[in-house]
């Protein structure tokens, strides 16, 4: 049930409440935390008082997030942060799996730098990628693992989707399984495994985790017999996560014959197999050899399986977050159905993947010269790691460190599982400033000829202080639930034959119909970000092209971004909406996180609410609203979706009085999604005074507010004017609210998927808590955000010349839309089209509701080849002076046809 509304206190003045709080402060004594909270309340009330606020007193409460726990730092990136803050000159970073040269520096592969230079010179448009990503990229990626002669690939039996690196691919398959397999399904992970594996599946609802044997602490090698035994007795149809090569964290891989037997057991037990492929080519330096297990499973054993692929390590594209999801099926129809369902998941997570990383990879894979250069660079990286293994082993043996160290050279890939205990690791970090994970895993990429002796000495000293006890074999028997399930061989049609097809997205589905229309004079008023010239003006903004050229010339590294994104990007984004002089920003009361455009920001805030707000909470949207709004919140578990009145079909205007009445009737603490400006799909915005009334109601009802900011600057051409509601909510009314920001429309960065989530809080403590929880969510969905879009935006916002150029371009886009509105209205009037169409000129931003019926829209498509959404939404950037007459004639035809039908 929805939360019940608390009885209101007797109303008083703001001055009285400030005085009362001050008296409470004086009596607090030593209760420091409570005193700090009251100080925050005094600040908020004084700001409202100074601004002339007239909000009902007694309603203000401490932040909903005040009691929200601060999430602990990530196990890997938390230790990496400690390393960065350590001033010791001898410190060594053996934590994060990112390649370093022998002088300890990040490495931008020359093949990547050249591919990026070519892309910058080409000045490619930034239109939306398909929901499943760039097709050439997906085919090239699947071919890299399966081989170009793969039967499944050539027969169309591979479902493919571009992903946010390997983490994003794992998130896609976890979400897919969560929709179609029981959440009690057993998830089998190696013992040990990458720390994020469990967290990714747990985030989507799986709780039954079991470790299969893998590491043998006695031999410090692979426990083949234990693994095979565990897979054999696991319940049928368990989800089994395997590492394709260079096992993380042990560096121990099965032999080819062992892989063959592992595959047979998975086939016999009908397990759902996931191959995590993060290190292909990096393990041995041979792309073909490292991919052999997947090819064996497909061609010889016939297992259905998923591959979650990453280009972070083998191309050094850590920060671009580029990977691929591939599902090898028994039938083509199953692959098509899986792709359908993955589209639904992607659309709700981030709508479309970013294009830059995919273009880099595609350029390298498909250009013979760049491909050969990359493979040479990959072999060199692999060889350096192998050389460091030999040097470290030799140094440890020269120091006569107790134990055997042959496992360091027998292991492969980026990591080595040293066998050091947590006590020994503590000595390594605290006394020798050699940073590593508590499990004993070290990144061999951090070992150099200059520090290998120091690291070996630190290991020797840590073992001397805390001698290791003789290792005991790991025992997993107690973890298993025995099932008396009758054994059946897998169906020759596979496990996904009956998977249903998903319905097409209402926007991208309509756009697909436009694309498939063979008519030359068709007009797209559905999704206008397809990169075609509009009145001879290229969609790629000159400010964006110049920023991208600067980035290519700078040859910036592709290191992992912070989980919440770079600070300069986040601060600039928050200032763009809240203003440079925002009190909340100045006082540290804004949590912020880079997102995958506006959709990604909405998914983040919906995920945050789903973790800490009752799932029965009402989620309120305007009627009508963007079709993906309710879908995003339903995706994370909210079912109580309701709508407030907004569009008055008769008046062709916003019904703000009806909206406010509805907001008053909904239960307190409802989640209310508002649109900052250029309302989608109506184009009708509240006035400033109406925004004040809306804000006051939200304050009184204590609603959770989300301001969706997809069109700032595009609505009126004025960035400050379009941001006015957010600034009033913060400074005058004192609301807490989230801002979901997108740069798709204002900067034309549709394909870069760049946005920001900001949460304006009542206290700095609440902002810190929300920030920490957002990091937890991001880490499990795609680990770190992509860097290219953030670098473009930061370059433009922080460079005065580029900023001015962009603002001129933005005003020009907004003005062109207004001209198109006037032209269409004038053309309709000249045709004598029944009805008053002047309301279209009053709308702002990219969209308008035409008021056309579904039957009229269908006739408009079939007779005039003019494409709108089924709800009558028209996208103005699709109009040009050339197409205005055609669109006007089409509208005139459908309106007159309806008039005739009535007669």
Cα 786 from Cα 41, distance rounded (Å):
37
Q: Which residues of 632-664 are buried (b: 16+ CB within 10 A; e: fewer)?
A: bbebbebebebebbbbeeeebbbbbeebbebbe
Per residue, what are the HEC states of 575-627? HHHHCCCCHHHHCCCEEEEEECHHHHHHHHHHHHHHHHCCCCCCEEEEECCCC
Cα 214 from Cα 188, distance rounded (Å):
11
Cα 167 from Cα 783, distance rounded (Å):
6
Write out the catalytic residue numbers. Answer: 194, 276, 313
Helices (H) and strands (E) in the chain, counts: 34, 26
Question: Coil, strand, or helix at residue 652?
Answer: coil
Cα 691 from Cα 694, distance rounded (Å):
5
Pairing of strands 323-328, 158-163: antiparallel
Cα 670 from Cα 3, distance rounded (Å):
8
Which residue's entry shows tokens 């969706």?
Answer: 708
Tokens of 587: 């006082």
Region for residue 151 given its phi and psi (left: phi exceeds 0; alpha: psi -120 to 50; beta: otherwise): alpha
Give DSSP secondary structure letters for 400-468: T-SS--THHHHS-SSEEE----HHHHHHHHHHH-EE--TTSEEEGGG--TTTHHHHHHHHHHHHHHSPP
Question: Coil, strand, or helix at residue 670?
Answer: coil
CA 583 to chain centre: 29
Nearest to 237 by CA among 167, 288, 186, 295: 186
Per residue, what are the HEC states of 439-452? CCEEEHHHCCCCCH
CA 433 to chain centre: 34
Contact 730, 739 (CB under 8 A): no
Cα 325 from Cα 345, distance rounded (Å):
13
Cα 549 from Cα 530, distance rounded (Å):
22
Instruction: Summarize the chain as % helix, strand, coil (round to 5).
Output: 50, 10, 40
Cα 881 from Cα 867, distance rounded (Å):
17
- List, in order, residues 6 or more apart from 389 with CB less than 8 Å away: 408, 409, 411, 416, 444
Contact 334, 497 (CB under 8 A): yes
Which residue's entry shows tokens 């591959």?
Answer: 307
Cα 859 from Cα 865, distance rounded (Å):
9
Which residue's entry shows tokens 């829209």?
Answer: 857
List the alpha helices (DSSP H) in 73-122.
77-85, 110-122
Cα 325 from Cα 322, distance rounded (Å):
10
Cα 395 from Cα 390, distance rounded (Å):
9
CA 295 to chain centre: 30
Cα 17 from Cα 9, distance rounded (Å):
12
């Amino acid at each position: 049930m929805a939360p019940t509304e608390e009885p209101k206190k007797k109303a008083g003045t703001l001055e009285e409440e400030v005085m009362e709080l001050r008296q409470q402060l004086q009596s607090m004594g030593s209760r420091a935390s409570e005193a700090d909270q009251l100080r925050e309340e005094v600040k908020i009330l004084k700001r409202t008082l100074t601004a002339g606020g007239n909000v009902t007193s007694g309603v203000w409460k401490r932040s909903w997030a005040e009691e929200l726990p601060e999430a602990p730092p990530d196990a890997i990136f938390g230790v990496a942060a400690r390393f960065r803050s350590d001033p010791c000159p001898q410190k060594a970073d053996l934590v994060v799996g990112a390649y370093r040269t022998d002088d300890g520096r990040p490495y931008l592969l020359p093949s990547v730098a050249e591919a990026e230079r070519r892309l910058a010179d080409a000045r490619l448009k930034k239109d939306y990628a398909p929901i499943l990503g760039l097709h050439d990229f997906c085919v090239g990626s699947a071919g890299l693992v399966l081989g170009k002669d793969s039967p499944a690939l050539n027969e169309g039996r591979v479902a493919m989707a571009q992903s946010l690196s390997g983490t994003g691919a794992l998130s896609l398959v976890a979400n897919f399984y969560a929709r179609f397999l029981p959440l009690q399904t057993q998830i089998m992970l190696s013992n040990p495994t990458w720390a994020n594996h469990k967290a990714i599946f747990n985030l989507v609802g799986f709780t039954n985790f079991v470790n299969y044997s893998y590491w043998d602490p006695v031999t410090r090698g692979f426990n083949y017999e234990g693994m095979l035994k565990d897979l054999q007795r696991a319940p049928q149809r368990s989800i089994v996560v395997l590492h394709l090569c260079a096992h993380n964290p042990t560096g121990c891989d099965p032999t080819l014959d062992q892989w063959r037997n592992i595959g047979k057991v998975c086939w016999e037990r009908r397990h759902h197999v996931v191959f995590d492929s993060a290190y292909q080519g990096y393990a041995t330096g041979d792309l073909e050899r490292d991919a052999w297990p997947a090819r064996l499973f497909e061609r010889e054993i016939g297992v259905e399986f998923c591959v979650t692929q990453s280009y972070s390590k083998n191309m050094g594209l850590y920060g671009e977050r580029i990977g691929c999801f591939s599902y090898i099926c028994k039938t083509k129809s199953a692959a098509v159905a899986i792709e359908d369902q993955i589209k639904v998941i992607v659309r709700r997570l981030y709508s479309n993947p970013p294009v830059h990383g995919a273009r880099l990879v595609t350029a390298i894979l498909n250009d013979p010269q760049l491909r050969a250069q990359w493979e040479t660079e990959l072999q060199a990286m692999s060889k350096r790691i192998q050389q460091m293994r030999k040097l470290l082993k030799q140094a440890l043996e020269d120091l006569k460190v107790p134990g055997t160290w042959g496992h360091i050279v027998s292991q492969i890939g980026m990591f080595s599982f040293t066998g050091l205990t947590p006590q020994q690791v503590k000595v390594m970090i605290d006394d020798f400033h050699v940073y590593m994970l508590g499990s004993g895993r070290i990144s061999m990429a951090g070992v150099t000829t200059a520090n290998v002796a120091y690291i070996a000495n630190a290991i020797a000293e840590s073992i001397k202080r805390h001698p290791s006890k003789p290792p005991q074999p790991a025992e997993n028997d107690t973890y298993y639930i025995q099932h008396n399930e009758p054994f059946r061989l897998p169906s020759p049609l596979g496990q996904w034959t009956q998977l249903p097809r998903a319905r097409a997205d209402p926007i991208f589905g309509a756009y697909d119909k436009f694309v498939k229309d063979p008519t030359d004079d068709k007009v797209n008023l559905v999704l206008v970000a397809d990169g075609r010239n509009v009145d001879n003006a290229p969609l790629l903004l000159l400010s964006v092209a110049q920023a991208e050229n600067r980035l290519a010339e700078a040859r910036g590294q592709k290191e992992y971004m912070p989980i919440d994104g770079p600070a300069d990007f986040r601060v600039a984004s928050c200032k763009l909406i809240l203003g440079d002089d925002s009190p909340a920003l100045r006082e540290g009361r804004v949590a912020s996180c880079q997102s995958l455009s506006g959709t990604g920001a909405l998914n983040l805030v919906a995920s945050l609410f789903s973790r800490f707000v009752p799932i029965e909470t009402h989620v309120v949207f305007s009627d009508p609203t963007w079709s993906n709004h309710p879908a995003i919140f339903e995706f994370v578990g909210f079912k109580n979706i309701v709508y407030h009145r907004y569009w008055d079909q008769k008046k062709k205007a916003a019904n703000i009085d009806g909206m406010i009445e509805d907001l008053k009737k909904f239960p307190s603490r409802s989640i209310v999604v508002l649109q900052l400006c250029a309302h989608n799909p109506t184009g009708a915005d509240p006035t400033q005074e109406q925004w004040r009334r809306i804000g006051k109601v939200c304050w009184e009802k204590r609603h959770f507010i989300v301001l969706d900011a997809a069109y700032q600057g595009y609505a009126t051409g004025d960035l400050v004017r379009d941001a006015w509601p957010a600034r009033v909510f913060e400074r005058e009314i004192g609301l807490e609210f989230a801002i979901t920001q997108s740069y798709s429309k204002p900067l034309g960065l549709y394909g870069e998927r760049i946005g920001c989530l900001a949460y304006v809080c009542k206290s700095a403590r609440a902002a810190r808590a929300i920030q920490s929880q957002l990091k937890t969510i991001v880490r499990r969905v795609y680990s770190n955000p992509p860097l290219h879009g953030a670098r473009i935006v930061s370059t433009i916002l922080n460079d005065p010349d580029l900023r001015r150029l962009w603002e001129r371009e933005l005003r020009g886009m907004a003005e062109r839309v207004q001209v198109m509105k006037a032209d269409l209205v004038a053309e309709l009037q000249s045709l004598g089209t029944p009805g008053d169409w002047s309301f279209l000129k009053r709308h702002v931003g990219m969209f308008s509701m035409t008021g056309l019926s579904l039957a009229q829209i269908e006739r408009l498509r079939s007779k005039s080849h003019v494409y709108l959404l089924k709800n009558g939404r028209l996208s103005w950037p699709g109009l040009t002076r050339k197409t205005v007459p055609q669109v006007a004639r089409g509208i005139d035809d459908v309106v007159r046809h309806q008039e005739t039908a009535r007669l």
